[in-house]
Amino acid sequence: MPDENDLREIEKVTEDVLEEHVADGSLSATEASAIKGATAHIATEIIMKSSVRFSGPLPPPSVLEEYEAVCPGSARDIVDMMKEEGRTRRFAAKCLAVAVPLGILLGGAICLSGFYCSILLAREGLGGKSIAAIFAAVGVVIASVWNSNSRKSKPKEENDDDKPV
């Protein structure tokens, strides 16, 4: 894959060849300068268009091979990191799948116990305290609904796996 060093090499070779042609009279200095500028532009375009982009947890095999050539064992490390990240995401999804229903059940239980306490307080003739207990129970419901809606309305953050590298 071409890089900055390749660009410099192309420019140097082009300059040497053009100097030879100017020296033997087959090109004028103006023509050589125009060719040099065009060659540098074309080389830059080639390098820019040959860059590699990919998305997903793993780079393409050719890129992994290049990592392995530069640093032996790095391809295995990259694959191991991808596997560990997958395990972590699956574990987090399982925890969330358990935590949400459990939170709903516990919130409902707190709410029902608040209503029950308010009924008991009202039967004992303590109207003000029963109203406070009802407000507490309703407050739990409102807070849980508010929290649930605020999470849904937040814009989703970009997933790192979908970003081009």
Buried b / exposed e across 56-79, counting CB within 10 Å, b at 16+? eeebeeebbebbeeeeeeebeebe
Q: Cβ of 14: how many Cβ atoms within 10 Å?
A: 19
Residue 34 is predicted with a pLDDT of 82
Whether residue 15 sits in one domain with residue 80: no
Q: Is residue 62 part of a domain?
A: no
Q: Is residue 45 part of a domain?
A: yes
Q: Is residue 34 part of a domain?
A: yes
Residue closest to 151 by CA, chosen among 114, 79, 103, 119: 103
Residue closest to 58 by CA, chosen among 85, 86, 79: 79
Is the distance from CB of 29 to CB of 21 less than 8 angstroms? Answer: no
Cβ-in-10-Å burial (0-12, 13-18, 19+) of 118 comes to buried
Whether residue 86 sits in one domain with residue 44: no
Distance (Å, whole) CA 87 – CA 79: 13
Distance (Å, whole) CA 154 – CA 45: 41
Could you say which DSSP state residue 160 is in? Answer: G
Which residue ranges of the chain lie beneath pLDDT 70? 1-4, 46-53, 148-165
Residue 151 is predicted with a pLDDT of 63
Number of domains in the chain: 2
Q: Is residue 59 part of a domain?
A: no
Residue 157 is predicted with a pLDDT of 54
Residue 51 is predicted with a pLDDT of 62
Residue 165 is predicted with a pLDDT of 44
Whether residue 135 sits in one domain with residue 80: yes
Distance (Å, whole) CA 38 – CA 34: 6
Provide the domain limits for residue 47. 4-51
